[in-house]
């Protein structure tokens, strides 16, 4: 089932003297449960594209469809956008952005309560997620008591636990060493597959290519589909 489709997206900045093309002619289709990796040089607009696809920023032109619903500029209102962001779209960033005054368990419960899940169910789902991540022994730890890898695993669990249709991950392993990066990515991929969630992840690490269903490189004139032969 189609989850996300982008048609001819472009992002162009203009001032009084010139225009700067970040990217143009971006076309992308992601189906349910698919994992897609997005590579590109530093400053090429990967994070900008991720935020546009996730309805945080607006493109200069082009269309975005989520489950075939047109979510392009002017096609949905602010209330509809906020509903999609709270229910159907999840984000994971390089920095974990956990709530520092709450435990690991509470960081998984609170987003569910915001989405009107009753507290008993929210706690049960949080415990199940911590068990899957082998983190149940750290459920009462505060974020500052967790290692970098542990914090990022809780951030991933927080994004997944609300059962979005798609997760956008922006360099989620950027602050981790290679061994922990591979461990965290493997766990994230396992969880999104298990929960039938689509995943689009931005990274500089080409070593992840074989782990994902599809890999693209972002160029100024669109996306180039990659495999191990054309890296």
Contact 192, 35 (CB under 8 A): yes
For the chain, domain boundaries: 2-226
For the cut 70, the answer to whether the pLDDT of residue 229 exceeds it is no
Other Cβ atoms less than 10 A from the Cβ of 93: the count is 17
Q: What is the pTM of this model?
A: 0.88
Q: Is the distance from CB of 28 to CB of 50 less than 8 angstroms?
A: no
| CA of residue 108 relative to chain centroid, distance | 17
pLDDT digits (tens, 9 = 90+) for 12-30: 988 878 888 999 999 999 9
Report pLDDT for 173.
80
Q: What is the pLDDT of residues 114-132, one digit of tens each?
A: 888 899 999 999 998 888 8
Return the higher-pLDDT residue of 159 and 176. 159
CA distance 80 to 71: 9
What's the pLDDT tens digit per position in 38-90?
Answer: 998 877 889 999 999 999 999 999 999 999 899 987 788 888 888 888 889 98
Instruction: Please give the CATH topology (third level) of the domain spanning 2-226.
Output: Rossmann fold (3.40.50)
In what order do the strands lie in the sheet containing 61-66?
19-31, 2-14, 61-66, 69-70
Angle between helices 119-132 and 104-114 (to 10 degrees): 130
**Selected residue with higher pLDDT from 5 and 19:** 5
C-alpha–C-alpha distance, residues 146 and 228, integer Å: 36
């Amino acid at each position: 089932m189609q989850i996300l489709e982008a048609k001819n997206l472009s992002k162009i900045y203009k001032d009084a003297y010139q225009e700067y093309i970040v990217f143009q002619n971006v076309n992308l289709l992601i189906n349910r449960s698919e994992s897609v990796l997005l590579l590109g040089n530093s400053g090429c607009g990967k994070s900008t594209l991720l935020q546009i696809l996730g309805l945080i920023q607006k493109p200069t032109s082009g269309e975005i469809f989520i489950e075939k619903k047109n979510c392009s500029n002017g096609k949905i209102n602010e209330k509809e956008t906020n509903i999609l962001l709270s229910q159907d779209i999840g984000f994971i960033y390089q920095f974990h952005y956990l709530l520092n005054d709450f435990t690991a368990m509470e960081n998984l419960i609170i987003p569910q309560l915001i989405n009107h899940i009753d507290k008993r169910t929210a706690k049960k789902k949080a415990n199940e997620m911590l068990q899957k991540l082998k983190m149940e022994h750290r459920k009462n730890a505060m974020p500052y008591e967790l290692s970098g890898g542990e914090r990022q695993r809780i951030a991933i669990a927080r994004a997944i636990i609300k059962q979005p249709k798609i997760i956008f991950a922006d360099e989620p392993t950027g602050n981790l060493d290679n061994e922990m990066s591979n461990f965290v990515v493997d766990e994230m991929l396992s969880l999104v597959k298990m929960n039938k969630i689509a995943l689009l992840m931005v990274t500089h690490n080409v070593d992840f290519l074989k782990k994902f269903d599809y890999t693209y490189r972002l160029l100024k004139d669109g996306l180039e589909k990659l495999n191990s032969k054309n890296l």
